[in-house]
């Protein structure tokens, strides 16, 4: 990162934390958690123990972190090396990101940055300037991306409450600060699960490893009555809705399924899991019982947006509500071939232009790697 950008971001992040202490708190059971942070241009520093909000705020103001983290796990000795912490349990956490949803809009708001010469352009096979194929891709998510993630989150919550019988009072949803949401399950018997058991839970939620026998197609002599109904609870009902569409089409569809055979039905179930009814959670995140997650109220250095709890996810607009950097003018040199919106304002496209924009937009573009502070 350039020196001007480093100075600009450090000063801006410091100001944010100084002005928004009310948003930043240690979580429940703080003494049993591990904390960590990253600084701009440095790696992760973790195995930190904090007890109070005062401890947390002192860490923020002393170290000027780019990112702040807290464990999902609870330990007897959170400040010791991992092998000596004495793990007790861990919150069950799910991560859903727009980048994993294969949304058609992605191509309209993704650009690329050449690793070799730093040229920024619309997506193509090679860098238009130096012809290198070493490319990084930069996405500036849109409201359609967020709507897609919200849909997945609501599907996940429905499975957690109806299938797994988790009390919705123990489910908390947070915007991640970039292009997704985290779903937390706390104070639940599922918190006792180890990594292997969580992988079984992941398979269930993603609708992986489904077998035809479970959904009406036995090894021998399939019966029309054995297939699921649209009114069935759980995955049986979801499969029926996806397979038949309506009750009037059930009989005709079953005839075709039996005619096509068991192998084709297996493939159909796998396609459902990948493309429609399976919830697209990040498996590695949920199975990791020692992971540290971005702390609510902290800034995300990938965007300059804030990780925030969502009381009503359907109404929540991250590009206004989580955009808490001030709007004082900032001078930057920007190169963004695609447009984006923050605080109901459209920015871009820009082609190597020196411009003055609100500070929140300057931070967003610098964090995305498509702008640089002019230092003025």
Task: Name the maximum alpha-carbon separation found in the chain.
Answer: 77
Rounded distance, CA 325 to CA 278, Å?
36
Rounded distance, CA 236 to CA 244, Å?
12
Catalytic residue among 67, 95, 125, 167: 95
Q: What is the DSSP letter of 16?
A: H
Backbone angles phi, psi at 207, to 5 degrees: 55, 55
Torsion of CA 364, 143, 300, 24, to 10 degrees: 120
DSSP E strands, 214-349: 292-294, 308-309, 329-336, 340-342, 345-347
Q: What is the DSSP letter of 125?
A: S
Catalytic residue among 55, 86, 282, 288: 282
Q: Is 95 a catalytic residue?
A: yes
Looking up tokens 């069950």 gives 92
Q: Is 5 a catalytic residue?
A: no
Contacts of 297 (CB under 8 A, 6+ apart): 20, 23, 24, 25, 306, 307, 308
> What is the dihedral sign for C-alpha 179, 202, 309, 43?
negative
Beta-bridge partner residues of 181:
96, 175
Catalytic residue among 97, 125, 163, 231: 97
Contacts of 264 (CB under 8 A, 6+ apart): 257
Would you please indicate which residues are annotated as catalytic (active-site) residues?
95, 97, 282
């Amino acid at each position: 990162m350039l020196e001007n950008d480093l100075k600009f971001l450090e000063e801006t992040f410091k100001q944010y934390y100084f002005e928004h202490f009310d948003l930043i708190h240690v979580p429940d059971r703080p003494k049993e958690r591990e904390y960590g942070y990253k600084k701009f241009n440095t790696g992760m520093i973790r195995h930190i123990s904090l007890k109070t909000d005062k401890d947390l705020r002192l860490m923020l103001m002393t170290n000027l972190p780019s990112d702040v983290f807290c464990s999902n796990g609870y330990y007897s000795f959170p400040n010791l090396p991992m092998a000596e912490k004495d793990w007790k349990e861990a919150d069950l956490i799910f991560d859903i990101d727009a980048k994993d949803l294969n949304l058609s809009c992605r191509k309209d708001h993704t650009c690329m940055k050449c690793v070799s010469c730093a040229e920024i352009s619309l997506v193509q096979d090679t860098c238009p300037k130096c012809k290198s194929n070493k490319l990084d891709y930069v996405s500036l998510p849109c409201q359609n991306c967020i709507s897609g993630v919200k849909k997945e989150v609501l599907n996940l919550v429905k499975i957690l409450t109806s299938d797994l019988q988790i009390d919705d009072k123990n489910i908390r949803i947070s915007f991640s600060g970039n292009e997704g949401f985290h779903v937390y399950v706390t104070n639940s018997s599922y918190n006792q699960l180890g990594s292997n058991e969580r992988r079984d839970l992941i398979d269930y939620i993603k609708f992986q490893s489904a077998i035809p026998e479970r959904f009406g197609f036995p090894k021998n002599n399939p019966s029309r009555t054995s297939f699921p109904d649209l009114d069935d609870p759980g995955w049986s009902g979801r499969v029926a809705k996806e397979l038949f569409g309506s009750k009037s089409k059930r009989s005709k569809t079953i005839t075709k399924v039996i005619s096509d055979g068991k192998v084709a039905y297996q493939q159909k179930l796998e396609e459902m899991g990948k493309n429609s009814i399976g919830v697209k959670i990040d498996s590695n995140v949920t199975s990791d019982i020692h992971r540290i997650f971005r702390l609510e109220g902290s800034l995300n250095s990938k965007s300059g947006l804030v990780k925030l709890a969502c009381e009503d996810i359907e109404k929540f607009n991250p590009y206004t509500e989580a955009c808490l950097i001030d709007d004082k003018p900032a001078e930057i040199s920007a190169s963004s071939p695609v447009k984006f919106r923050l605080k109901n304002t459209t920015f871009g496209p820009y082609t190597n232009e020196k411009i003055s924009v609100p500070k929140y937009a300057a931070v967003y573009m610098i964090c995305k790697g498509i702008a640089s502070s002019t230092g003025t």
